[in-house]
């Protein structure tokens, strides 16, 4: 072979190699682009279906108006179990079953009184209150005592023996300057959660807690108290934010105010109840479970439209949208309606125990329990690998208004599953209105925007769609 031929040979070889590489590169780019187009098309189909013919709002209207309040152990909770089982059967999911769990059974009783007895300025003043969940009642004889206001546990502890026999009034407001109202809630809810225990340690006779509302309102917010088996359980009530301000104002001028409290709550024996579960079986990786849920119980005072009827119907809707659109998931998608998030978390605990005992492979657990408001993003508690994979999908969500993928989170009910190592994702709606309704009689269906609710279900379904398609590995 002469040199020029050899050169020509090498030249051609280089050219061919270059072109083959270019060709392969173009192929890869085209495929990647096609994949992105397919993803965005799939997601658009989901959003279109939810906005045109979504059933979330219709379901939520039924749950709120036909059943209404559904505190653990109540007839409403039992009806909600039957309702959601029936709903998932009606939509023809591959399997629907109940997972029995015993739940706490607290009842409020009829009468709730808080009355300032001796204001020189205003005479007798009725305060708008409600007993907090889990609280013992005062009984018919009530409790009368001097009231002392504190802002936090440090102030309480400094009072020392002065607390003995008194009613402690926790009055630290939620910080209105926090943009996330959940952050504001997190900064104040210790008063409701453990105020009664901390005050009882020092001998208080009862506690009044400023409601967990960020605005000035006329109604109280109920919610759970975490009592300790080692400290005497004392009665605990929440007072409306307006009357918290009034009481505080009166106390500034009259230190020796006496308040009369009367509640008739009772803690009954644990009651039988259930988580309600529906699933669509995966076609390729049936054992890989994508879990999506909300909690079925609500407080007794509320229809529980946002807390957490929204999460319940959105979870059912995710599976229904898959069926309506004929999407056959590769992995198993499971909707879980957890029982007893509000005052015990027995449903979430039971679910995780069972999953562990059966050695089930939950590749992710998603919860919607921050209300049925307009979508903002997703929160995550997972490895960086998982978080980055989900963040890489952000451009697919941005056209629908979901831009916040940067905060940790998940959900109370999926917490026990998270503790076993399952990545947790929380649906993140706009939080501005949540604490106007949370745990109050105002949490009703008319406070829910149909479009905001359906958009949330579509966002969750789109996330499940992507996880099913690409897994989280």
CB of 430 to a second copy, least distance (A): 5
Instruction: Single out the catalytic residue among 149, 288, 341, 454.
Output: 341
341 in catalytic set:
yes
* Residue of 265, 261, 240 lying closest to 134 (CA atoms): 265
CB of 368 to a second copy, least distance (A): 17
* Residue number, 172 or 350, with CB nearest to a second copy: 172
Instruction: Check if the beta carbon of residue 235 is closer than 8 Å to that of residue 261.
Output: yes
* Residue number, 291 or 452, with CB nearest to a second copy: 452
Which region, left, alpha or beta, applies to residue 443 given φ > 0 means left and ψ of -120 to 50 means alpha?
beta
* Residue of 280, 315, 278, 281 lying closest to 295 (CA atoms): 315
Tokens, residue 287? 């054992």
Q: Under rule CB under 8 A, which residues in 114-173 are in contact with a second copy?
A: none
Q: Decide if residue 430 touches a second copy (CB under 8 A).
A: yes
Q: Decide if residue 433 touches a second copy (CB under 8 A).
A: yes
Burial of 132 (0-12, 13-18, 19+ CB in 10 A): buried
Q: Decide if residue 374 touches a second copy (CB under 8 A).
A: yes
Residue 75: its H or E element: helix 75-90
Q: Decide if residue 400 touches a second copy (CB under 8 A).
A: yes
**What is the SS3 assignment for 270?**
strand
Using the rule CB under 8 A, give the single segment among 23-31, 79-87, 307-315, 399-407 that binds a second copy.
399-407
Using the rule CB under 8 A, give the single segment among 47-55, 143-151, 159-167, 383-391 that binds a second copy.
47-55
Residue 364: its H or E element: strand 361-367
CB of 303 to a second copy, least distance (A): 17
Q: Under rule CB under 8 A, which residues in 440-459 are in contact with a second copy?
A: 449-452, 455
Instruction: Check if the beta carbon of residue 235 is closer than 8 Å to that of residue 143.
Output: yes
Instruction: Check if the beta carbon of residue 275 is closer than 8 Å to that of residue 337.
Output: yes
* Residue number, 207 or 214, with CB nearest to a second copy: 214
CB of 244 to a second copy, least distance (A): 17
Question: Which alpha helices (DSSP H) does 232-309 contain, by range?
Answer: 241-253
Catalytic machinery residues: 341
Contact footprint for a second copy (CB under 8 A): 47-48, 51-52, 176-177, 179, 181, 214-215, 374, 376, 399-401, 403-404, 430, 432-433, 436, 449-452, 455
């Amino acid at each position: 072979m002469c040199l020029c031929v050899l050169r020509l040979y090498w030249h051609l070889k280089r050219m061919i190699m270059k072109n083959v590489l270019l060709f392969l590169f173009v192929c890869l780019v085209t495929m990647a682009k096609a994949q992105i187009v397919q993803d965005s098309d799939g997601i658009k189909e989901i959003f279109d279906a939810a906005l045109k013919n979504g059933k979330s709002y219709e379901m939520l209207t039924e749950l709120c108006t036909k059943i209404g309040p559904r505190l653990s152990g109540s007839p409403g909770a039992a009806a909600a179990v039957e309702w959601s089982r029936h709903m998932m059967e009606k939509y023809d999911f591959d399997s629907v079953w109940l997972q029995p769990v015993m739940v706490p059974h607290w009842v409020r009783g009829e009468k709730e009184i808080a009355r300032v007895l001796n204001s020189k300025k205003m005479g007798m003043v009725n305060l708008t209150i409600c007993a907090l969940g889990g609280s013992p009642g005062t009984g018919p004889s009530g409790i009368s005592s001097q009231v002392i206001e504190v802002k936090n546990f440090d102030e309480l502890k400094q009072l020392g023996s002065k607390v003995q026999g008194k009613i402690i009034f926790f009055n630290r407001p939620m910080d209105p300057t926090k943009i996330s109202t959940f952050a504001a809630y997190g900064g104040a809810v210790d008063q409701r959660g453990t105020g009664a225990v901390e005050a009882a340690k020092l001998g208080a006779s009862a506690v009044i807690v400023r409601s967990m509302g960020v605005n000035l309102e006329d109604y109280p917010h109920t919610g759970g108290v975490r009592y300790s088996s080692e400290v005497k359980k004392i009665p605990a009530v929440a007072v409306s934010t307006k009357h918290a301000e009034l009481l505080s104002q009166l106390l500034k001028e009259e230190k020796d105010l006496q308040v009369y409290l009367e509640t008739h709550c009772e803690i009954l024996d644990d009651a039988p109840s259930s988580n309600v579960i529906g699933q669509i079986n995966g076609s390729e990786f049936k054992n890989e479970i994508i879990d999506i849920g909300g909690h079925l119980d609500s407080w007794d005072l509320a229809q529980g439209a946002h807390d957490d009827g929204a999460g319940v119907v959105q979870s059912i809707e995710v599976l229904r949208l898959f069926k309506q659109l004929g999407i056959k998931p590769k992995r198993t998608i499971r909707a879980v309606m957890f029982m007893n998030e509000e005052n015990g978390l027995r449903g979430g605990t039971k679910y995780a125990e069972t999953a562990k005992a059966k050695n089930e492979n939950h590749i992710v657990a998603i919860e919607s329990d921050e209300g049925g408001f307009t979508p903002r993003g997703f929160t995550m508690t997972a490895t960086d690998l998982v978080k980055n994979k989900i963040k890489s999908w952000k451009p697919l969500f941005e056209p629908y208004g979901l831009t916040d993928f940067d905060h940790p989170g998940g959900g109370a009910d999926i917490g026990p599953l998270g503790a076993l190592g399952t990545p947790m994702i929380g649906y993140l709606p706009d939080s501005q209105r949540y604490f106007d309704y949370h745990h109050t009689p105002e949490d009703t269906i008319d406070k829910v925007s149909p479009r905001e609710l359906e958009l949330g279900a579509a966002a969750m379904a789109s996330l499940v769609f992507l996880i099913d398609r690409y897994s989280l590995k």
